[in-house]
Amino acid sequence: MQFSMLIHQSKLISMWFGLRWPLVCSLVVCAGLSGCKKSAPGIPLDEIRPLGDDNEIGQYHDFCEPLEQPVWKPAANSEFMRPDDPVIGILTKQGAYALPWWVLKNHHVANFDVDGEEILVTLCEMCSSASAFDPRVDGERLHYRVVGIYNGTHIIRDEETQTFWLPFLGRGQKGPHMGKQLKRRRVDQANWADWLQMHPQTQVAYGEPSAREGHGSKHFPGATLMGDGMLASLQHRSLRLSQNDLVLGIVVNDEHRAFPMAELTQNGAVLQEVLGELPIVVFHKPHTFLAAAFSRQHQDEMLDFTTNEKGEIVDRQTGSTWNYAGIALEGPLSGTELEPVTYSMDEWYMWFTQHPQTTLYAH
């Protein structure tokens, strides 16, 4: 009975990820029969078989191949984009860049350089998670790719040292760099229209129209397209929210809290909170998945935020208006930016399995 159930789960995973069934079967069956405790049924890292080994899965599935050095197009030449396309937004010291979900879903990992900065971006369209990191470790530039399935999502490995890394925590999990931490970069997720409004000079990664089809094409932020097979690999679970509910997860001074997007919408565009003894503010565009978190300390002043009669975000100290990216648009502070804290948009199940110590904000 146990074995037949594992076989069934492996077939489900193979359909969701487009993998060859025999390989996924080996992953799931190996996990299920390894003697894992029921409280932590995830696949032990010692038993992960990288995609591409033995069965050479990587050569048959393009989504295993990382996106190397995307072709960037200015916003003025972005006719291939749609207003509601989800994008992963990256800011450098010189500009703004958007990676569309429909482009990166075919790779899950992007390795690139822009404005003299080296960047690694990861995406799981199934769990709505995205992260960005400095790819260097101990001074060496590493290049990453998807190699397996672990804890409800994929796991990545660098080509140079063969270290396994958790794609949204940036932590070395097995190999020469085990225990090391990649330096996190800020990531914002939004639809293309909202990102473009905040960053009109942005560039966007180009993709052929056909890239919209196939693998991952039915996924969008918060989509309920996950089944029992992937849930079985989760190490930690919580029923406090529905598994696909979108949250803004924030970490400050090792204190973790999830802010449900539905709660943020109910609260309005501004939410002030104290986390890790730091006064923070969350900006959220109601009824969307655009949200960001910042320290309220700006220059030498603690700012207090609200919305005016036009619905614009303003600070009470100077009357300056701000956008959702934390940039002052008008007023005495115009052109300045708030300091972001560590945050990410995730589905509840993915945030919780990676941050089981999290608290949950309730309005």
Rg (CA), the chain: 21
- Segment 174-192 shows an average pLDDT of 97
Domains, the chain, with CATH or none: 63-212 (no CATH), 246-360 (2.102.10)
Q: What is the pLDDT of residue 161?
A: 97
Model-level pTM? Answer: 0.84
Is pLDDT of 308 > 50? yes
- Segment 333-360 shows an average pLDDT of 97
From residue 82, alpha-carbon distances to 70, 191, 213, 322 in Å are 19, 9, 14, 26
Euclidean distance between CA atoms 91 and 311, whole angstroms? 26
Q: Write out pLDDT tens, residues 232-291.
A: 778 899 999 999 999 999 999 999 999 999 999 999 999 999 999 999 999 999 999 999
Q: Which of 302, 324, 292, 293 is nearest to 311 (CA)?
A: 324
pLDDT classification of 363: cutoffs 50, 70, 90: confident
Q: What is the pLDDT of residue 17?
A: 40
Is pLDDT of 314 > 90? yes
The three state secondary structure string of 17-55 is HCCCHHHHHHHHHHHHCCCCCCCCCCCCHHHCCCCCCCC
Is pLDDT of 302 > 50? yes
Is pLDDT of 321 > 50? yes
- Per the DSSP assignment, residues forming a β-bridge with 109 are 122
CB 316 within 8 Å of CB 306? yes
Sheet arrangement for strand 109-114:
67-68, 109-114, 117-124, 129-133, 184-185
- Segment 338-357 shows an average pLDDT of 97
pLDDT classification of 160: cutoffs 50, 70, 90: very high
Q: What is the pLDDT of residue 64?
A: 77
Euclidean distance between CA atoms 58 and 52, whole angstroms? 5
From residue 79, alpha-carbon distances to 82, 104, 114, 193, 195 in Å are 8, 18, 22, 12, 15
Q: Which of 83, 82, 78, 125 is nearest to 97 (CA)?
A: 78
Kindly state the tokens that stand for 76.
């003025």
From residue 255, alpha-carbon distances to 165, 182, 346 in Å are 22, 19, 17
Q: What is the pLDDT of residue 62?
A: 54
Q: Which residue has the higher pLDDT, 154 or 93?
A: 93
